[in-house]
């Protein structure tokens, strides 16, 4: 034992020891399936830095991992790194000042213009264009650097991860697994490609899936546009927030029950300015109380336009290009000279500039009716984008997800019911997502750093790709990159020539790889013995905001491949919010990087703060005044000092049993705490386990230790060998159990103390049980009652402005009969700690010190 125990520096002491000893290593050789506890750990996105929210949620996972390990389970606790995806590409662009141009050749001697930049507002025009291969090499270089920093932080935090089980979502094994799963989806008819309206981010130039959307409140304006009836009737005025899409109008739609438009259904009108004839149709999605009650259908203004286009079988007259500007090719459906002239004026402009051109022209022609009404309305954005999404027509790859298959949707709902959500109210987010799916899962992305879609297309005699006859590799050939490798049966000289082949340039959505984390971590198909041990997993821990993406897609892939739920439990952490109760996120600029917090307060203190919040509950964090963290540090320090104090009592020779009433009751109270903490951990309630343990620990330190220390020292006036032995045995049994109860929360402090008296790690010791304690008695309330009496005596001395060491000539304690009987059983210990010469008891309505006479002073 050190002379002055300290929590400072324990991370640097014990981290290397755990690694060297393999304390948290998964022992697959001696593991059987029923003895394994497997965790599908979230792989953090390797772009930039981790924030305090990661510390919060990953601590929750670690608490459960440590508990199950102490319960005798072989814990499979891997760590993955989610390398690929848009965040990584954006970070590489800013960090190195480059952008990818796949048309450029590879430069093996390329050196980036600079390194270490973070110019998030830099424009593509200011970035140096480089080849795809050079760009991917930079992505891999930077993600490896980020991952090393992430691992350092997680080790400092004390995560009991088995670092030999790490994986990257972009390495060869992961790419092969993701491509293998896709090929099997394709073979079973679950993956397909289609030309369809696609949500498109004009900044990233990529398709966006339904799960990646978020609504943002944006200013807008209703414009009244006059359509002219072809039968000579009065103009039909519609209200639209997107007048710039007037050239793309394909119909007007009203609700079938709306009496105002009954005579219009089945007839046609001509559009203002462009004079294009379009039908007036009925559809139940038209809102009678919105705008004018009749809507302009354009291809495509929003997702409702897509539904109308599909269900009413309307033509596609899209005018917005992939760059978010009006396309330059002249629409064939516009025949009037004025219409062609006006469209030419719009061509090449952004939607904002095109809108001004249209509104000015409508105003001049008199076809803009009424006043323009400003509004705020929800607009769809890519969750990582900063410009509203457009809807363009593209050829994309999809995987079925139940949106158009009721049987699959029902099955996915059943799988959700089989998974125990913690907390249970999070289940509704999964159910609502499955029920609200409007289209299959779009998995192709027009990006560079990702898992390539493993397909090529044959070129016909005219050099055109035959998309419905894709060429695929065998599983033994995986991983492949069709952009740089020839198709099976061809050589590179046949790329892009008639009769040859064309490689698919798109990569998979990052979730198409991350949805396979159970397979990636468990080495699916490459290590069948390991995979059989860990799959299905016991738990998926994750944040609540990715239930619709990561949780759902993992359930989907597991269902399609194995017809089972991928895990038994899903534990959902809440968010970290700033002092203003706003969610912390990189996009909002209010995140706190945790390394400095860990270095200042210590890992145990930070873990205590995280553990104090229940699953599913948001927690506020103020880096300027981290109260909970300070409380946690105080607890860790107290653990060291209390244990040193207890171990300072030598065990009396021949000590065998706990005999004194106070000692028995303390251990009985501890037994109840063990039962409560165990039940709480089993129910995924780590906060409750910490609460009951911590409350007892402070009672143990503040009351019990004070009450029995004179007897433990053997200095009490009537102490005997037996009573002294009872105190020391009880103290040692209690501290031994308390260290194990606190080990998941304070792994460094408890390991330090445990090492003073044990050869092995506390984290490899067994979780305490009531049966192992020296007594199996039920709590009587004695410890609590005596503790109250002790507080009364201390209060009386304080009121008399006397030192707590002041001897007491006489003291009288009044208490109800039941409490009085309890306290009298511990009168010797109470008199010793209170330095009371003559202690007596009397009946009273409530426990109180009614008389006290201090030496040389009466009160």
Residue 599: name the closest of 4, 12, 6 by CA: 12
- Enumerate the β-bridge partners of residue 576: 619
The dihedral through the CA atoms of 837, 840, 844, 846 has a sign that is positive
Alpha carbon 157 to chain centroid, angstroms: 17
- Would you say 855 and 827 are in contact if contact means Cβ atoms under 8 Å apart? no
For 499-549, what is the HEC assignment?
CCEEECCCEECHHHHHCCHHHHHCCCCCCHHHHHHHCCEEEEEEEHHHHHH
CA distance 734 to 645: 13
* 583 assigned binding-site residue: no
The full DSSP string for 548-596 is: IIIIHHHHHHHHHHHSS-SEEEEEEE--EE-TTSPBP-TTTT----SHH
Residue 851: name the closest of 786, 784, 793, 803 by CA: 793
CA distance 354 to 374: 18
CA distance 350 to 238: 23
CA distance 499 to 462: 8
- Would you say 726 and 660 are in contact if contact means Cβ atoms under 8 Å apart? yes
CA distance 563 to 561: 6
| Alpha helix stretches (DSSP H) within 347-460 | 351-365, 406-418, 427-435
Residue 92: name the closest of 147, 151, 153, 48 by CA: 48
The full DSSP string for 95-162 is: HHTEEE-TTSPP-TT---S-SS---TT--GGGSEEE-HHHHHHHHHHHHHHHHHHHHHHHHHHT----
Give me the phi and psi of 334, to 5 degrees please: -90, 115
- Would you say 481 and 453 are in contact if contact means Cβ atoms under 8 Å apart? no
- Would you say 207 and 445 are in contact if contact means Cβ atoms under 8 Å apart? yes
- Would you say 471 and 501 are in contact if contact means Cβ atoms under 8 Å apart? yes
- Would you say 368 and 225 are in contact if contact means Cβ atoms under 8 Å apart? yes
Evaluate the omega torsion of the peptide bond into residue 275 and state whether it is cis, within 30 degrees of 0.
Answer: no
Q: Which residues are annotated as a binding site for ATP?
A: 586
Q: Which residues are annotated as a binding site?
A: 586
């Amino acid at each position: 034992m050190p002379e002055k125990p300290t929590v400072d520096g324990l991370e640097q002491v014990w981290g290397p020891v755990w690694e060297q000893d393999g304390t948290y290593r998964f022992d697959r050789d001696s593991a059987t399936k029923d003895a394994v506890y497997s965790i599908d750990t979230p792989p953090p996105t390797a772009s930039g830095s981790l924030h305090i929210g990661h510390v919060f949620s990953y601590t929750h996972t670690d608490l459960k991992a440590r508990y199950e390990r102490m319960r005798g389970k072989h814990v499979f606790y891997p760590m993955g790194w989610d390398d690929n995806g848009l965040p990584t590409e954006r970070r590489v662009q800013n960090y190195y000042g480059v952008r990818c141009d796949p048309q450029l050749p590879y430069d093996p001697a390329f050196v980036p213009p600079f390194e270490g930049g973070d110019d998030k507002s830099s424009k593509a025009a200011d970035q140096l264009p480089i080849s795809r291969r050079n760009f991917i090499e930079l992505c891999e270089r930077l993600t490896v650097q980020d991952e090393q920093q992430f691992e350092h932080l997680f080790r400092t935090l004390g995560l009991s991860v088995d670092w030999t089980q790490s994986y990257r979502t972009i390495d060869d094994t992961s790419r092969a697994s993701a491509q293998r799963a896709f090929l099997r989806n394709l073979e079973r008819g679950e993956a397909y490609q289609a030309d369809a309206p696609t949500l498109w981010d004009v900044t990233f130039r990529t398709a966006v899936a339904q799960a990646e959307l978020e609504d943002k409140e944006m200013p807008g304006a209703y414009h009244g546009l006059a359509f002219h009836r072809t039968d000579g009737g009065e103009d039909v005025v519609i209200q639209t927030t997107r007048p710039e899409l007037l050239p793309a109008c394909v119909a007007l739609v009203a609700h079938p029950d709306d009496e105002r438009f009954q005579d219009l259904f089945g007839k046609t009108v001509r559009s203002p300015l462009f004079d294009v004839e379009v039908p007036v149709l009925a559809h139940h999605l038209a809102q009678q109380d919105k705008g004018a009650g009749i809507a302009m259908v354009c291809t495509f203004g929003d997702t409702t336009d897509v539904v109308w286009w599909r269900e009413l079988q309307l033509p596609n007259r899209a005018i917005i290009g992939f760059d978010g500007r009006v396309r330059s090719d002249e629409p064939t459906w516009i025949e009037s000279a004025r219409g062609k002239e006006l469209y030419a004026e719009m061509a090449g402009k952004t939607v904002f500039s095109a809108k001004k051109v249209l509104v000015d022209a409508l105003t001049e022609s008199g076809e803009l009716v009424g006043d323009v009404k400003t509004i705020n309305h929800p607009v769809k954005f890519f969750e990582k984008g900063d410009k509203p999404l457009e809807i363009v027509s593209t050829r994309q790859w999809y995987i079925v997800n139940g949106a158009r298959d009721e049987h699959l949707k029902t099955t996915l709902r059943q799988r959700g019911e089989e998974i125990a959500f913690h907390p249970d109210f999070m289940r509704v987010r999964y159910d609502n997502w499955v029920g609200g799916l409007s289209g299959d899962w779009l998995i192709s992305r027009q990006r560079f750093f990702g898992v390539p879609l493993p397909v090529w297309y044959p070129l016909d005699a005219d050099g055109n790709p035959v998309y419905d006859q894709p060429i695929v590799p065998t599983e033994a050939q995986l991983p492949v990159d069709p952009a740089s490798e020839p198709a099976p049966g061809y050589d590179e000289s046949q790329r892009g020539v008639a009769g040859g082949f064309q490689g698919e340039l798109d990569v998979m959505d990052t979730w198409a790889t991350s949805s396979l984390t159970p397979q990636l971590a468990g080495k699916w198909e490459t290590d069948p013995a390991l995979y059989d041990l860990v799959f299905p997993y016991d738990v998926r821990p994750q944040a609540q905001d990715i239930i619709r993406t990561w949780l759902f897609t993992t359930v989907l892939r597991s269902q399609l491949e194995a017809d089972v739920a991928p895990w038994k439990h899903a534990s959902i952490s809440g968010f970290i919010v700033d002092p203003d109760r706003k969610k912390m996120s990189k996009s909002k600029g209010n995140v706190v990087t945790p390394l400095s917090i860990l270095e200042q307060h210590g890992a145990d203190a930070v873990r205590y703060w995280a553990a104090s919040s229940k699953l599913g509950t948001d927690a506020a964090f103020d880096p300027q005044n981290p109260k909970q963290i300070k409380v946690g540090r105080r607890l860790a320090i107290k653990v060291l000092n209390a244990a040193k104090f207890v171990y300072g009592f030598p065990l009396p020779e021949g000590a065998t049993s706990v005999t004194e009433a106070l000692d028995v009751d303390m251990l009985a109270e501890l037994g109840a705490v063990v039962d409560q903490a165990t039940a709480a951990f089993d129910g995924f309630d780590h906060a409750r386990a910490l609460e009951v343990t911590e409350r007892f620990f402070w009672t143990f330190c503040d009351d019990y230790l004070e009450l029995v220390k004179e007897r433990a020292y053997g200095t009490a006036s009537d102490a005997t060998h037996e009573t002294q032995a009872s105190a020391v045995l009880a103290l040692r049994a209690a501290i031994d159990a308390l260290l194990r109860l606190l080990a998941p929360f304070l792994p460094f402090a408890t390991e330090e103390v445990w090492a003073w008296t044990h050869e092995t790690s506390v984290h490899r010791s067994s979780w305490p049980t009531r049966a192992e304690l020296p007594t199996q008695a039920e709590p009587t309330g004695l410890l609590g009652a005596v503790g109250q009496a002790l507080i009364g005596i201390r209060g009386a001395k304080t009121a008399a402005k006397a030192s707590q060491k002041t001897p007491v000539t006489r003291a009288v304690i009044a208490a109800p009969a039941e409490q009085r009987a309890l306290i009298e059983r511990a009168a010797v210990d109470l008199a010793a700690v209170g330095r009371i010469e003559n202690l007596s008891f009397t009946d009273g309505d409530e426990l109180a010190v009614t008389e006290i006479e201090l030496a040389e002073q009466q009160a």
